[in-house]
Each structure stands twice: as C-alpha cells, then as structure tokens.
Amino acid sequence: MSLAVVVIGGLLPLPARGGSSVPSWVSATKPVLLASDVHLGAVRSGRERAFLAWLEHAAGAASWIILNGDLFDFWFEYRWGTTRGHEDVLDVLKRVVASGVPVTLMGGNHDWWGGRYLREEIGLEFLQDPVVRPIAGRKTLLAHGDGLGKGDYRYLVLRAVLRGGLTRAAFGLLPPALGDGIARGVSRTERKWDEWGERQQARVRALEAWATERIGEDPELGLVVLGHTHHPQVTEVAKDQWYVNSGDWVLHRSYVTLEEGREPRLSEWDGPA
C-alpha cells in the first residue's frame, strides 16, 4: 500500500464495504434511534403501518437506526427463497439504507436465520450475536436478550438445536411456503404476549439482573440495550450507566433515542399510522 493511500485512509472516511456494515462517518449530530420486537407478520396491519411510519420518520431524524431483534415474527432464508411477504418493510428498509442512513438488524429468537438476502439485497448490517460498540458516545452492549440471564435453560437447549448447521440446512431445503407455515404454527406471538404474565415478569427480572451484572463488571460500560421482554424500561443502574429495554410494537409502540451527552430516552410513537 502506498503512503498516499495510508494517509488518505487515515484521514478520510472510507465507505462501508459491501454496503452492509456501519460506516465510520455515522453523523454525531443526529441521534441513534432504536426499536425492537415488532413481530411483523403476527401483528395487525394498523401496527405494521404505524411501524412503517416510524421508520420513515427515523430515516429523517436519525444518523443510525438499530432494530434490536424480532423485527419479523419469522424470517428464514431458504435455498429457494426467503420468508414470503414483508415486501413493504423490506422496500422501506432498502430505501432508508440507500438514502445513507445505516440500519442494523440484530437477529432475535424469531428472526435469527437471516443472511445474504438481508445483507446484500436490502443492505442491512445483520448481526447474530451480542456486540459491544460505541453508540452515541457510550460504550454499549447490544443484544436482543434471548438466552441471557437465569432461568431459560430449556430454551437454551432448543436454541442450540434450532441454530445448529444441520437443522438450518435441512429446514432450508423446504419450500418457503411450507417452512413459513410450520414456523407460524410454533410462534403464536399475539396469543403469547401478556405483559403481566408470570413468565413475562420473570423474564423482565432476569434480563435486568443480567444487565446489572454486566454493568457491575465493567465501569466503562455506559449502556446495555436489550429487547425481548416486550417491557419498555430505562434504569440508571449506576452513575451514568444505563440499562435500556426498547419494549415492543405488539403491546406498545416504543422506541429509544440515544444522543451523545444526554440520557437515553424512551418514547411511544404517536405519529401517523
């Protein structure tokens, strides 16, 4: 590499490679907006429209949009195609990315099986594991939340099977309509979510305890962001060290605003649907 390239590479923002990773020049002037657990495909069309309206809003207001898992009630990339439907949201996401606002999608327990299509066709940064990153000036631990914290042991076994290469390859050979149908039978999101149910409350407590532990071990960690509980929450665990849960779009329309030098904020989308 010539000296000129090294110098320029060090001084100038380099474009993202492959159109899917978050560029290094993400603007610090606009906030980062974050939402999770939209469960598209399992919620009524009014909720879906509200979320799309929020996405359009976010595209204008944010420097970076993070969708922290379970955007889709089910997403799989089969050998012969992807999960069917979702054209509207995929169109909007593709347009948002093309307009220069990076979008990161963390795979949740419902949509962990994304891959080439989401990355290359839509242009998302698609993550499948928790990450530690600077977000809006804070060292941040970002994870969907499934499998974290105490008490989910049965799920951990199931998850290992569902995420195993063999299971994934076998499922991937199904015709998309059949695979989607099987997954829909297993998911049952709308019937399942009762914010004040016993299991739900246990999950809220387990993830808060997990986030509190992470913050306890690392004084530099300014923020732990999770989803999965469907319970919106902002807790200052220690001085300027925050646990934030973005809630959901099944029971709420909640999202998080992260801005340099300011406290993380939770809001409820009340814009057009």
Using CB under 5 A, list all residues that contact Mn ion: 70, 108-109, 228
Of residues 195 and 259, the one with the C-beta less far from Mn ion = 195
Instruction: Tell me the closest approach of the beta carbon of residue 187 to Mn ion, in angstroms.
Output: 10
Of the pair 102, 108, the CB lying nearest Mn ion is at 108
Chain position whose Cβ is nearest to Mn ion: 228
Q: Percentage helix, strand, coil, to 5, in the chain?
A: 40, 20, 40
Strand, coil or helix: 111: coil
Q: Residue 125 or residue 248: which is nearer to Mn ion going by CB?
A: 248
User: How far apart, in whole angstroms, are the C-alpha atoms of residue 235 and residue 257?
Assistant: 14
Residue that the structure tokens 């898992």 belong to: 69
Q: Among residues 70 and 152, whose Cβ is nearest to Mn ion?
A: 70
Looking at the Cβ atoms of 187 and 212, the one nearer to Mn ion is 187
Taking the complex as a whole, the smallest distance from the CB of residue 145 to Mn ion amounts, in Å, to 7
Alpha-carbon 5 to chain mean position: 35
| Contact (Cβ atoms closer than 8 angstroms) between residue 223 and residue 141 | yes
Nearest-approach distance from CB 98 to Mn ion, in angstroms: 28
Please state the closest distance from residue 37 (CB atom) to Mn ion, in A. 6
Helices (H), the chain: 3-11, 45-61, 87-98, 116, 153-163, 165-172, 176-187, 189-192, 198-217
CB of 115 to Mn ion, least distance (A): 19
